[in-house]
Structure 1
Amino acid sequence: MKQFEKLEILLNEQGGMIQTSEAVKRGISKPVFYNYVKEKKLEQAAHGIYVSSDAWIDAMYLIHMRCSHGVFSHETALFFYDLTDREPSPYSITVKRGYSTTRLKADGLSVYTIKQELHEIGKSTAQTPFGHTVPVYDMERTICDLLRCRSSIEMQTFQSALKMYARRKDKDLRRLMQYAGLFRVEKILRQYLEVLL
């Protein structure tokens, strides 16, 4: 199979998006890759990520491709679990402390940082509206994150999310309290839950 054919398959697999690093991983040299990009008139969507002009851009998947260890969190995670009636704007992600957030913030993202040992807690996956799988924190972790950042989040957003969570059949209160202990928001969470449950 010719290298351009391999790239064509990769572009189709990714829904019209292609990453330089992914092409290199598959044994395609950078000069060949950039010739392909030029010939196909692909547009640069972000550093090392190119898209075909007719592709529908999945913004969430694009963020994941750019920052693979970032996890969708806060208001964006609420959206994945139908715990908000608003589309997230800007998107929120959480990265490990020490990761450079300058470029992500410059692109308009809400970026939160957390200690390395807390970064993986509650990490799950979800489907974007375009059907791509991306990392996202589970509902319980998201509630704790919102409590931790309650001064920078609209109170109404948080309260309605907590009410919707309390009505869910798939909620896990034991896990929620376990996370609340880890993130040191147990006391304030109990106050809210006493009102709701």
Structure 2
Amino acid sequence: MTQFEQLDTILEGQRGMLQTSEAVKRGIPKSVFYNYVKEKELEQAAHGVYVSPDAWVDGMYLLHLRCSQGIFSHETALFFHDLTDREPSPYSITVKRGYSTTRLKADGVLVYTIKPELHGIGKSTAQTPFGHTVPAYDMERTICDLLRCRSSMEMQTFQGALKMYARRKEKNLRRLMQYAGMFRVEKILRQYLEVLL
């Protein structure tokens, strides 16, 4: 198999998306990679990420590739957990404090920052509508994040999500209260839960 054929296989497997790092990992020189990109007229979608012109781009997966430490949160995490009927726009991610967010914000991404020690709490994975696996916060962490930012979001979005969460069989109230303590939203959460449960 030639190196171009290898790249064809990767491109097909990734649904029209190709990463420089993936090619290098498979022993394909960068010069060959860039010749391939030029010949196939791939478009640069982000640093080190190229897409074929006819590909449907998975925006969520692309954002994950651009910012690997970002975790989908807030309204985007609600969408992943079916706690909202609205498709997220713009996407919301949370990064560790100190991470440069300028380029992401310029591209319209809602970026939240948090202390490094709280960044990984509640991290799980979710499937994008295109079938890619990306990092996202679990339902309980998402509820706590929404409580922390309730002044900057629509009240009906938040209340609707909380009602849907309360009806879920797989909810974990013990975990929710544990997270609420860590994020200092325990008191306000109790007030909401008393009404709902």
Which category of TM-score, normalised to the shorter sequence, fits these structures? over 0.9
Shift of 1:151: 1.4
Please name the residue that 1:145 is paired with.
Answer: 145
* Secondary structure of 1:85's aligned partner: coil
- Tell me which residue corresponds to 1:19: 19
Q: 1:160 aligns to what? A: 160
**CA–CA distance in 1 between the matches of 2:9 and 2:100?**
33
Q: How does 1:28-107 map to 2 (within 5 A)?
A: 28-107=28-107
Paired with 1:124 and 1:193, the residues of 2 have a C-alpha distance of 24
Q: In 1, distance between residues paired with 2:183 and 2:192?
A: 16
User: Distance between the aligned counterparts of 2:101 and 2:22, measured in 1?
Assistant: 23
Runs of 4+ with deviation above 3 angstroms: none
* SS of alignment partner, residue 159 of structure 2: helix
Deviation at 1:40, TM superposition (A): 0.5
Identical amino acids, percent of aligned pairs = 84
Aligned-pair Cα RMSD in Å:
0.8
Work out the CA distance in 1 between the residues paired with 2:150 and 2:108. 20
* Structure 1 position 125 matched with structure 2 position 112: no
Distance 1:14 1:194 in 2: 46
The Cα of 1:168 is off from its aligned counterpart by 0.7
User: In 2, Cα distance between the equivalents of 1:97 and 1:22?
Assistant: 28
Partner deviation per Cα, 1:144-184 (whole Å, 9 max, x = no partner): 00011111111111011001100111100000000000111
Displacement, 1:21?
1.7
Cα deviations by residue, 1:76-97 (Å, 9 ceiling, x for unpaired): 0000111011110100001111
Length, aligned pairs only: 197
Q: Please, what TM-score do these two structures have when normalized by structure 2?
A: 0.98
Partners of 1:116 and 1:18 in 2: CA distance: 30
Letter in 2 for 1:12: E
Deviation string 1:121-164 (CA, Å, 9 cap, x unpaired) is 10001111111111100000000000111111111110110011
User: For the residues of structure 2 that align with 1:167 and 1:129, how far apart are their CA atoms?
Assistant: 24
2: distance between equivalents of 1:90 and 1:65? Answer: 17
- For structure 2, the residue ranges without an aligned partner over 5 or more in a row are none
Unaligned runs of 5+ in 1: none
Q: Which residue of 2 aligns with 1:183?
A: 183
Give the drift of 1:38.
Answer: 0.3
Which AA in structure 1 matches 2:118? L
What TM-score do the two structures reach when normalised by structure 1?
0.98
**Counterpart amino acid of residue 129 in structure 2:** P
**Structure 1 partner of 2:113:** 113
For 2:100 and 2:191, the matched residues in 1 are separated by 36
Distance of 1:192 and 1:26 partners within structure 2: 52
The residue type paired with residue 39 of structure 1 is: E
Q: Distance in 1 between matches of 2:106 and 2:29?
A: 30
